[in-house]
Amino acid sequence: MEKAEVLVIEDDADIREGVRVLLESEGYFVKEAENGEAGLLDLAEDTSLVILDIMMPGMSGLRVCEEIRKKSYVPILFLTAKAQESDKLLGLMAGGDDYLTKPFSYAELLGRIKAQIRRYTAYSSLPDKQKADEEAEYIRSRGIEIHTHFNEVTVNGKLVELSDIEYHMLLLMMRHKGKIFSAQNLYESVWNEPYFYNCNGTVMVHIRKLRVKIEPNDQEPTYIKTVWGKGYRFEGEK
């Protein structure tokens, strides 16, 4: 099996070396860049993931992300010393896919890297029509409209405020209408962390909160159905 290629754009040499050693021990091919300009030059068609520091001299990570998004949908995992929710939102709106605050554990970093590469590999194998659906700016179904790049959701024309987790959960299910997602599927895809049995309760709580915000009657859901013993499904157009 061909090695996945990871591009690390980070001005801290110690962090670059630590990430490189970790990923090479897991069988990944790693490219390193010490600033944004060099990172953009190193980006290739076969790059499977970009690990990007936000706070860098010269071109910031947010600017680098915007430039990458002009030509590639490669997953981008931000590394930053900032932990504010607003900073995370800026990164996601710029086109980032995930966000990890320094200092971080290498176990958590590796888990997030594997989840992003697994998702990107699955996306790359989709037929062109499905890719077009994935890249659409909005997804619409049965009165719900959701923006695919940032947290903007309306239900029957009314703006609904969702948390980041609720938004990504709804986006995932609307992108794959009719597909049954187990609690494990949802947790690993949305939280980007390994699933353990006690995570099932976390998923259930967020499904309940999401239903309260989007369902006409959250006690008798019409959008997000429970498939007993299997998981949850977004009901698309009839």
Report residue 1's pLDDT band, with 50, 70 and 90 as the boundaries. Answer: very low
Map tokens 């962390």 to a residue.
Answer: 193
Examine the pLDDT at 135 and tell me if it is beyond 60: no
d(CA 74, CA 69): 8
Reported confidence tier of residue 165, pLDDT bands at 50, 70, 90: confident
Rounded-to-10 torsion of CA 67, 71, 73, 78: -20
Query: All domains of the chain, ordered by start, with CATH?
Result: 5-124 (3.40.50.2300), 129-234 (1.10.10.10)
Per-residue pLDDT band for 93 (boundaries 50, 70, 90) equals: confident
pLDDT band at 98 (very low <50, low <70, confident <90, very high): confident
Residue 100 CA to residue 16 CA, distance in Å, equals: 15
Q: Where are the alpha helices (DSSP H) in the chain?
A: 13-25, 36-42, 61-69, 85-93, 106-124, 128-135, 164-175, 183-186, 199-214
Contact 204, 166 (CB under 8 A): no
How do residues 193-202 score in pLDDT, each as one tens digit? 788 888 888 8
| Helices 85-93, 61-69: inter-axial angle, 10-degree rounding | 30
Take residue 143 and report the two structure tokens written for it: 């009165």
The answer to whether the Cα torsion of 46, 51, 56, 62 is positive or negative is positive
The predicted pLDDT at position 115 comes to: 82
Confidence grade of residue 99 (pLDDT, cut at 50, 70, 90) = confident
Q: Look at residue 134 in the predicted model and tell me its pLDDT.
A: 54
Does residue 87 register a pLDDT over 80? no
Examine the pLDDT at 69 and tell me if it is beyond 70.
yes
Q: Which residues of 84-116 are buried (b: 16+ CB within 10 A; e: fewer)?
A: eeebbebbbebbbbbbbeeeeeeeebbbbbbbb
pLDDT at 120: 76
Mean of per-residue pLDDT scores for the chain: 85
Among the listed residues 224, 185, 190, 192, the one whose alpha carbon sits nearest the alpha carbon of residue 207: 224
207 residue type, one letter: I
pLDDT of residue 230: 92
**pLDDT, tens digit, for every residue of 137-164?**
788 898 999 988 778 899 998 999 888 7
Mean pLDDT, residues 117-142: 68
Beta-bridge partner residues of 172: none
Is the predicted pLDDT of residue 189 greater than 80, yes or no? yes
